[in-house]
Every structure is written in structure tokens, then in C-alpha cells.
Structure 1
Amino acid sequence: MSTNDNLLEVTGLEKHFPITRGVFFKRKVGAVHAVDGIDFSIQPGETLGLVGESGCGKSTTGRLVTRLLEPTGGKVVFEGRDITHVSTNTMRPLRRDIQMIFQDPFSSLNPRHTIGSIVGAPLQVQNMPMPNGQKRAVQELLELVGLNPEHYNRYPHEFSGGQRQRIGIARALALRPKLIIADEPVSALDVSIQAQVVNLLDDLQNELGLTYLVIAHDLSVVRHISDRVAVMYLGKIVEVAPRDDLYSEPLHPYTLALLSAVPVPDPARRDSAQRERILLVGDVPSPIDPPSGCRFRTRCWKAQEICATQEPPLAEAVTGHQVACHFPIEASERTGRGAEAAREAAAAVAEE
């Protein structure tokens, strides 16, 4: 393992999808900068939440870490071993330790196969020891995730969305992995079922000592399950902090705007800062041609000339709290009056 005992270390990770023209002689004319140089680490037993709006590169990051996609640049180190460009054959044994839970619990399950064969497939591929046979091993996994073991011979269409996601979780747990990447694990489920699946993931982590990278756009879900949270915008990580610090004292303007949009169901708990949203104007810039300097500057009310010319590094502002911003949010801007001033400044950016 690496010297600082991180289970996973990601350094300068990049994924650029080429844009080509021509039928026979494809000529590269550009690239989509889906992930454009990100750094983060996860310690054993920790849950890191990765949040951001659609199209920011969250899911691509998850697929790069699991090596379902080949990185364009950077490094992925798992347990001290560089797995960035290892071959398929070399990666196969490592699949036991790195598994993924996919967003859509229906499309990720083969409708032609029974639940027994779907959950049992990893056991066969990896030649896992099964003293009591594959059927019993799969039934134990189904029982572990709260499903009836007798449903071994049923097909995916016979289950609800929440049950199908539990099947996906059982498949990910089959090899007893050390790291699980959960890509929007509850976004396709009803709100009434989301809490059950999140609580299941929490219980499994405590029981099996799992480490999670949870990818989500719902800040409420991330707050419930994460130890630390990383905020992503247009292929870049703009803020990383312990969960409570990020939610109580956000330092990046984008993070403040995201948190202002989180609904608070209890009217008695809503203060003026939470009632009024900071509306970000305009669309997210194209990842084909991202802005110079800070990528958020085209929508930021605090942007100045330096933001266009110099890209802010992800640096530690306070202990354990990193932010990539030339002008981080101050305490006064988190109050009702400060948030109101931020909204007025955001409106001024829209007029420009």
C-alpha cells in the first residue's frame, strides 16, 4: 500500500473523447474534455461523495477508476499499484477488489438471464470458492441485500425498481470487493425507496468494511452517506471537504449555489438564506471548448480579470478543506443578506 495508506489515489486524471470527421480517413478535429485533470484520494472504509450537475464528468470519472474506460492522461493507483494502463488480463484479478453499481437497475441487468445467473456470473468468472455450491452462495447474497432467497429463478422484469437495484448491489458484493463505485445508485428510484437503498449501503459498509465512491447529483443523498464530498464542475474538481464543513461553510461560489437549491421540507428550519435560491444564469460551457482560466467564471458573480487568465489550483484553504477559487466565499456571504447580495451579483452577470 502507498505510504499514506490511501486505498485509491487519483492524480491528474484526464479523459478526452476525440471528435472526428470523414467516413474512411477519420481526421481528429477536436475533443470533448469530459475529465480534465482531477486529483482525489479515498482511505479504506471511507465514503467519498462526488457531486455536480449533469455533464460535469462524474460518471466518466467512475468508469475511469474501474478501468471500464481507458484514461487519456493522469494516474490511478489502487493499493499502491498503478492500474492506469494495465492490460485486460492483468486487470481481471483486480476486478475482485473494484466493483461498480450502475445507475439504471433495469438496463444493467440482462433480461434473458435469471437472478441466479446474473448474481452468480462474477463467482464463475473469477473462480471463487463456493463450498456449498453456486445456488447457496447466490441465495446468501440475496438475503444479505434484503431479498427473498427463493427468488433465485426469477427474471429482472418480475422485480420492482428498488428490488432490481438490490440485485445490482448483490452482484457487486459477490466478489467481496474492497472498493465500490456507486454511480447515481438511487436517482432512478422513487423517493420512498431511495432511503431504503441508501440505508442498505450504509449497513453493508459497516458490516463488510467497504469503501465507497458515491457519484450523485442529489446533495441530500450525499450528505447522508458520505464522509467527505468533492464538488465537480465541467471536468474539474472545484472543492473537497469533510461533509459537515462543506455543507456549513462552502468556499466555492458554485458549491454555495448548489446548496442554495437544496429543498428544506421543514418550514421552521428555513432561514432567509435557504428560502432564496442563488440562480446561476446561462448554460454550462461546452466541454469541447472550455473557458480559459477558471471554468466557472462565465457564471460566477465574483469573477475578475485574473479568473480569465489564471486557472485556480485546488489548494487547502483551511485544514482538510480544499478549494479551487481565486476569491473564495466569505462568512458574510453565507448569511441571508450576503446570499441576497450574491443573487443580485448573479443577476448582473446575466445582464452582461
Structure 2
Amino acid sequence: MSAPEPLLSVQGLEKHFPITKGLIKRQVGAVRAVDGLSFDVVKGETLGLVGESGCGKTTTGRLITRLLEPTGGKIVFEGNDISHMSQAHLRPLRRDMQMIFQDPYSSLNPRHTVGAIVGAPFRIQGVKTEHGTKKAVQDILELVGLNPEHYNRYPHEFSGGQRQRIGIARTLALKPKLIIADEPVSALDVSIQAQVVNLLEDLQNELDLTYVVIAHDLSVVRHISDRVAVMYLGKIVEIADRTSLYKSPMHPYTTALLSAVPIPDVKRRTERERIRLQGDVPSPINPPSACRFHTRCWKAQEVCKTVEPPLVELLTGHQVACHFPENIPQDENTPRHESSPQDAVAADARPATGTE
């Protein structure tokens, strides 16, 4: 049985922000925020995009929705190449592709009522509803757990969680097929986070939505995602289904990230090995050569500084970009990284570790 056609396909996506100097704005460099991403998202699934602050997650989300113009690569949505499509041609497609923004305070216009905010997509796209825009907006407010009577209120009258629900309601107005959720719960209290995450899951089941969830909270990503992609300095270093990635991470960076996830159980927390990476994250203006993680990796060898590891599938559905991946089953039939030296060379040399 052939694999389903992806709803979204990203191929070699790049975004370099120029650095200029002087009166004539001469370019002297570039911030390589996103530098060659490739992944697919199938209809109905949730892909989690995780990584440290500054790794390019939000820029990726804005590129997918074409809020930013890509420097290179392709973005294919429902078979249409939208990489450099004009705004006039993009407008009809925006009904099917929407974004939930990170900050529920700055993403809502304080001068507009909730009715005007959630009804804006109908007005901009010229969509007519059977019982009028007001009734459609009130139905959407009720769908996301708000009172239809909130129609005439202003954003400052609501809590953070309620504001995020208003943002979600605006996103759902035109019943999109793909939603990019940029840190949808990071600005909310923990108790409200659970409510919003559960709301997103319920809406996905009810409306057959497809999500790309951008987050740095690995616990939230594990709860909501079907597959997880890990980013480091503008590149994807590992993609796998959530069970495989959280149980047996292959890239050293993913291993270090997961070791930092808080564990409420005191006994389990003291038994767990905590990996502390040395040094700071390099600048995206001048990233390290070849493998960008080699300056902080405890398994790095000379090949990591000279040969960039490609993102290859080492197990079914599990891709990793590393010359010395971890947690590979000792099976003769397991495919090996073509350019990797023998595992014996890498050894198991870990950095100084400790317990939490």
C-alpha cells in the first residue's frame, strides 16, 4: 500500500536575513535562521517542531504560511508550489492554511471587539454564511469554549487563556486544513495550558485538522504530536514518531534535550542521567562547519568537522543526521549510515553527567 500524499511538503527550505553596513546598506553577512529543512506532513497528523530558542522554529512557521519570503527551497501545499507565489494568488489558499500566534496579548487588536477579530477572515475573504457573520462567529466562540455573549467585548476584558481561545477561534473561522501553532501555550499558566492543548486535540478530531506545533516544552509536544522533528541551528537533526523518539533518541542533541525534561517523581528524577552540554549555542551568522552540533557534542570526531551528516532513515520512520547515532539496535539487518565510521571509534564517551 502506497504512502498517502502529503498535505504539506517542505524541501530544502532556507531563510537568510541579510546583515547590512554603511549608508549604501552593503551586505556583509547573513543570519542563517533556516538552512535546508525537508519534511512532509500528512493530512490529519500533528508534527511537533522542537528545539532551543533561536533555532529557527518560528521562522519556519512563518515561512510555511508565507508570512516571510523564503530565500531558497520549496513549499508545496496540496500539490501547489507556494514558495514564491504572489499575494494575490495566495489569498484563496490562506483559507486552508492558518497560524496560531505565540502571544495572545499582542496578536489581538485591542481596539477591536471579539466579534470584529473573529469575523475578520469572513470579511477579508468575502465569505458569506447562511445565517450571517455574527451567528457564525458566535458558533465558533462556543466551539472553543467561550460564551457567545462575548461577541461585543474587547480583548482586555479576558484572561490569557481566554485570549488564546479567541486567537484559535479566529484561526478556525474559515475551517482551514492546516494550522501552524507557534508556541500556543507557552504564555499561559500550567492549568490553562492543559485546557488549550485538550481543546486543540478535540478540534482536530472534530474538524479533521492537520497541525504543525512549534514548541520548546517537550512534555506538551509528547502529549499532542504524532511525529516530532528536532531542530538545531536552522537544521533538522532528527525526525521520528513520538514513541520512538522519546524512548530511543538517536541524535546526541535529542538525548541531551530529553534529559532536561522535568520529572515530578523524585525517585525517577534522582536515578536519571542528566546530560549538561558544554559551551553556548553558536551564532547563526557563522555556524560551525559540517555538523553544527560538533562544538558541543561528546561523540564528535574529526569527520564531524569536515563532512555534514545527511538526514537519513536508520530505522523505519526514524531519520537522523549524525555520524555516530545512539540507541541503534544491534541487528545485522539494520541499515547503517553510509558515511559513518565504525561505532567503536565513537565509543560511548559522554560529557560529565549528574543527577537532578
Q: Tell whether the structures are fold-level matches, with TM greater than 0.5.
A: yes
Cα shift at 1:268: 4.7
Match of 1:16 in 2: 16
Cα shift at 1:4: 4.7
Query: Residue 297 of structure 2 is aligned with which of 273, 297, 300?
Result: 300
Q: Which amino acid aligns with 2:130?
A: P
Q: Which amino acid aligns with 2:288?
A: P
SS of 2:274's equivalent? coil
SS of 1:48's equivalent? strand
Match of 2:55 in 1: 56
Instruction: Evaluate the alpha carbon distance shift between residue 104 and residue 28 of structure 1 in structure 2; reply closer, same or farther with a 3 A threshold.
Output: same
Q: Which amino acid aligns with 2:5?
A: D
List gaps (5 residues or longer) in structure 2. 330-347
Query: Residue 288 of structure 1 is aligned with which of 285, 302, 314?
Result: 285
- Map residues 13-52 of structure 1 onto 2, 5 A cutoff: 13-23=13-23, 25-52=24-51
Cα shift at 1:266: 2.1
SS of 1:120's equivalent? helix
Match of 2:351 in 1: 343
How many Å separate the matches in 1 of 2:321 and 2:138?
Answer: 47
Partner deviation per Cα, 1:127-174 (whole Å, 9 max, x = no partner): 112111111110001000000110100000000000000000000000
Q: CA RMSD in A?
A: 1.6
How many Å separate the matches in 2 of 1:306 and 1:331?
Answer: 20
How many Å separate the matches in 2 of 1:244 and 1:285?
Answer: 30
SS of 1:75's equivalent? strand
How many Å separate the matches in 2 of 1:173 and 1:267?
Answer: 41
- Map residues 225-304 of structure 1 onto 2, 5 A cutoff: 225-270=224-269, 272=271, 274=272, 276-304=273-301
- Map residues 83-98 of structure 1 onto 2, 5 A cutoff: 83-98=82-97
Partner deviation per Cα, 1:246-265 (whole Å, 9 max, x = no partner): 00000000000000000111
List gaps (5 residues or longer) in structure 1. 333-339, 348-352
How many Å separate the matches in 2 of 1:120 and 1:97?
Answer: 16
Match of 1:350 in 2: none
SS of 1:7's equivalent? strand
Q: Which amino acid aligns with 1:46?
A: E
Match of 1:6 in 2: 6
How many percent of aligned residue pairs carry the same amino acid? Answer: 75
What TM-score results when the alignment is normalised by the length of structure 2? 0.92
What TM-score results when the alignment is normalised by the length of structure 1? 0.93
How many Å separate the matches in 2 of 1:45 and 1:256?
Answer: 28
How many Å separate the matches in 2 of 1:342 and 1:102?
Answer: 38
Whether 1:323 aligns to 2:331 is no
SS of 2:9's equivalent? strand
The alignment covers a number of residue pairs equal to: 335
Whether 1:123 aligns to 2:122 is yes
SS of 2:18's equivalent? strand
Match of 2:341 in 1: none
How many Å separate the matches in 1 of 2:290 and 2:226?
Answer: 30
How many Å separate the matches in 1 of 2:108 and 2:327?
Answer: 47
Q: Tell whether the 8 Å contact from 2:298 to 2:349 is kept in structure 1 after alignment.
A: no
Partner deviation per Cα, 1:265-313 (whole Å, 9 max, x = no partner): 12354462x3x31011111000000000100000000000000000000
SS of 2:212's equivalent? strand
Cα shift at 1:26: 1.1
Q: Which amino acid aligns with 1:284?
A: V
Q: Which amino acid aligns with 2:15?
A: K
Q: Which amino acid aligns with 1:318?
A: L
Q: Which amino acid aligns with 1:20?
A: T
How many Å separate the matches in 2 of 1:145 and 1:102?
Answer: 16
Cα shift at 1:330: 3.1
Q: Which amino acid aligns with 2:322?
A: C
Match of 2:219 in 1: 220
Cα shift at 1:343: 3.3
Match of 1:107 in 2: 106
SS of 2:69's equivalent? coil
Cα shift at 1:22: 1.5
How many Å separate the matches in 1 of 2:131 and 2:310?
Answer: 54
Match of 1:335 in 2: none
